[in-house]
Structure 1
């Protein structure tokens, strides 16, 4: 069966921006099998929604993040209802979250950051993921569907909490 032009276009865009799928799946699913399932669910939803994508209204990556994060947040809500299962961050996940640069031995601060992110609720995980991707507040607001001011306020509060957590971790380490 030959691929249609629409399928070819989708396939090319998905291949080009597949890291978004893996990053979102890595943020919202802890176990390797769950990350794989969530990535597939995100891709399926992207394909189902692709007919509604309008390049005139915005960038593909913005549209893709919006869908991927909505699927990830829905997944997190379902999991929360079933009791979250935690699995230590593995090298694959750290590599994926790090943007593809292999990380062989993550330092303690990076591990603390990942542990902190894992404790955030679904919306705040989405915000910090986009912030760490160097997305502008305007783009984050567009993807998440909140105002730029709200984005700035929430990110500022997350950073304050993270600083407090890092200080506490350093105090515990120094006292040990």
Structure 2
């Protein structure tokens, strides 16, 4: 049986962009189980949208738009419903400490500050950390490059402020 070319193309896109998706899930979900659920939902929505992908657009732009929409929608849904109560005598989940090293504390502090940003601000920081150009950010977010510059400056200022304040 020959592989379906659409499936092969989709898997190639997914494999090439897994890092982006995992970083996005890390920014929008603190719990490992929530991150995995979000990742699966993003992949499902990418698969559903893949037949409508226009090769004239950059695949990363298409992927970011869908993934950001899913991540923000997922976050809004999670904040609307109450947290589930634990059943039985199950031990509490313990977060793994960051990898040891000279930058581990700085990285953990950065993630704590990013968690305090709004959904939209997180999207800007994610794109910035992915080293996307203002032109790419504008295309992904559907705003002008000038608006990206202004908002990025504000988000960076806010993040600097959060990094200098205790949590």
- Normalising to structure 2: TM-score of the pair? 0.84
Deviation (angstroms), 1:107: 3.5
Give the gaps of 5 or more residues in structure 1.
95-102
Query: In 2 relative to 1, CA 88–146 (structure 1 residues): closer, same or farther, beyond 3 Å?
Result: farther
Distance 2:25 2:70 in 1: 9
Count of aligned pairs: 158
Q: Residue 17 in 1 paired to residue 14 in 2?
A: no
Distance 2:161 2:114 in 1: 14
Query: In 2 relative to 1, CA 141–43 (structure 1 residues): closer, same or farther, beyond 3 Å?
Result: same
Partner of 1:149: 146
User: SS at 2:131's partner residue?
Assistant: coil
The answer to which structure has the higher helix fraction is: 1
Partner of 2:106: 109
Partner of 1:32: 32
Alignment RMSD: 2.3
Deviation (angstroms), 1:149: 1.6
Deviation (angstroms), 1:78: 0.9
Query: In 2 relative to 1, CA 84–139 (structure 1 residues): closer, same or farther, beyond 3 Å?
Result: farther
Contact 2:27 2:111 in 1 (8 A): no
Partner of 1:82: 81
Query: In 2 relative to 1, CA 140–83 (structure 1 residues): closer, same or farther, beyond 3 Å?
Result: farther
Query: In 2 relative to 1, CA 63–14 (structure 1 residues): closer, same or farther, beyond 3 Å?
Result: same
Alignment of 1:115-154 (within 5 A): 115-154=112-151
Deviation (angstroms), 1:88: 8.0
Cα deviation digits, residues 75-109 of structure 1 (max 9, x gap): 11112213579x88646xx6xxxxxxxx4344333
Distance 1:145 1:88 in 2: 39
Distance 1:160 1:61 in 2: 27
Query: In 2 relative to 1, CA 39–65 (structure 1 residues): closer, same or farther, beyond 3 Å?
Result: same
Partner of 2:160: 163
Deviation (angstroms), 1:45: 0.4
Deviation (angstroms), 1:22: 0.9
